[in-house]
Structure formats: C-alpha cells, structure tokens
Amino acid sequence: MTFSLVVRDGERFGIVASSSSPAVAARVAHLRPGVGAAASQNVTDPTLGTSLLEELADHGDAERALAAVTGAARNAKSIAYRQLTVVGRSGPGSAYSGSHTLGTYASATAEGAVAAGNMLCGEHIPGVLLDAYSAAPGELEERLVSALKAAVAAGGEEGPVHSAGLAVVADVDWRVTDLRVDWADDPVDRLAELLAVWLPQRDDYVRRGLDPASAPSYGVPGDR
C-alpha cells in the first residue's frame, strides 16, 4: 500500500511517497541533515526509521545500517512484516522487504537512491521511480515529484492512492521542505500544486530561521 523513493543529492536528502492509506509521510519518512534518509513502510513501524538513522549517524554505511536493524533481536518477531529503505552519506541505497510484505512488492537501488513499494500493480514501479527521478530537470523536490507522477502513470499501486508526501533536509537542522496531502482523490497532483506554492518561498523561510532581520516579509497582516 505504499511506494517511495529515497535519495541523496549532494549534501541534501529527500523522500517522496504515496499510499492508499492516509498520512503516508507522517509514518514513512525519516531524514536527518548530514546523516541520511530512510523509509519504513508496509506494516509500518516508524521506530525502524529512527533506528536506521541512528545507525547511519555512527558509521554512514546504508547496507550496514540495514543489516543491523533487520538483524536486531528486538525486531526478530516482526521484521518479516516490514519494508525498509535507506540512503547514507555515500554509496548506493539499500532495501529490505520481509517475507510478509503485502501483495506484489519490489525494490531498486542506484548510487545515492533507493525505491521500493508493496501492493504494486507490478514489479516495474521502483525502476520507474529511479529512472524518472534521474531524467527529471529542476530542483530536488521537483525531481522527486516528477518521479512520483511517473510511478502513478505507470500503474502505481493495485488500487487508487489517497495520500502523498515530500520531505527534504539540507544544511540546517530542520526539514527545508515538508509537504503532505493526507487524504485526497488526487494526492500526487495536489502535492505538485503545493510544491509550486512552496518552492519559491523555501529559501526565504530558511533565512527567517537563520537571520530574521534579513528575511523578507510576505505582506501577511501583522508581519513586517
């Protein structure tokens, strides 16, 4: 019931995901500036995303982080129900799909990227995500949304999707982009619309956090 793409772009990390269930990004997306990004999906346990980032913070190796989390004794009874992906500061992404992953599932990896999904219309969807991301122009966020659109156009999940989300971290200690459509009939199109509003203002909001005296006003009542 979820397909996602996790990437590294220079010093930035990003995740995009869509699902037939509500609020997918709230449960699936995990990122830490300067460390990496991970997705925890299928029968979702969000703590596994946190664990993957903790492992990456120690050594930076995505494959090693995934092996540590999937092999941990505390996860032994439930790990077969999980689908995990992770990207670190260097090297390719890494993926795990437990034996109880739902429906048709698949994953695909590349240098600095990994895509995975379950309840898919076909095993080709992760490859579509990677290929469309690599071919898309524009900002990281735009390329991630382009990949999500391509996956939907290629069939996406077995049924209709209802939520979508996008998150990016860069060189500050918060998500410079964090957009979600938690329930809609056309969540990926709605996400693209949100991005068109957000992206021209993204860097100004970073400036507001770092140096409010130099940040621009947007003419909101009460704003300077």
How far apart CA 116 and CA 126 sit, in angstroms, is 5
Predicted confidence at residue 210, as pLDDT, reads 95
The domain in which residue 124 lies consists of 2-206
Strands, sheet with 12-19, edge to edge from the N-terminal-most edge strand: 106-110, 113-118, 2-9, 12-19, 163-169, 175-181
CATH of the domain at 136: 3.60.20.10
Q: pTM for the complete prediction? A: 0.96
Inside any domain, residue 219? no
Extract the tokens encoding 193. 């619309």
CA nearest to 4, candidates 139, 130, 98: 130
Inside any domain, residue 186? yes
* Complete DSSP assignment for 87-126: E-SSSB-EEEE-TT--SS-EEEEEBTEEEEEESBS-TTHH
Predicted confidence at residue 218, as pLDDT, reads 67
Predicted confidence at residue 1, as pLDDT, reads 86
How far apart CA 205 and CA 17 sit, in angstroms, is 24
Per the structure, how many domains does the chain have?
A: 1
Inside any domain, residue 63? yes
Element holding 129 (H helix, E strand): helix 125-135
Inside any domain, residue 77? yes
End-to-end CA distance of the chain: 45
Q: What is the CA radius of gyration of the chain?
A: 17
Inside any domain, residue 188? yes
Inside any domain, residue 216? no
Residue with tokens 């995975």: 116
Contacts of 115 (CB under 8 A, 6+ apart): 3, 4, 5, 6, 85, 107, 108, 109, 125, 126, 127, 129, 130, 147
Strands, sheet with 29-32, edge to edge from the N-terminal-most edge strand: 29-32, 36-42, 82-87, 94-97
Q: What is the pLDDT along the chain (224 residues), one digit of tens a residue?
A: 899 999 999 999 999 999 999 999 999 999 999 999 999 999 999 999 999 999 999 999 999 999 999 999 999 999 999 999 999 999 999 999 999 999 999 999 999 999 999 999 999 999 999 999 999 999 999 999 999 999 999 999 999 999 999 999 999 999 999 999 999 999 999 999 999 999 999 999 999 999 999 878 766 665 65
The 3-state DSSP class for residue 185 equals coil
Inside any domain, residue 220? no
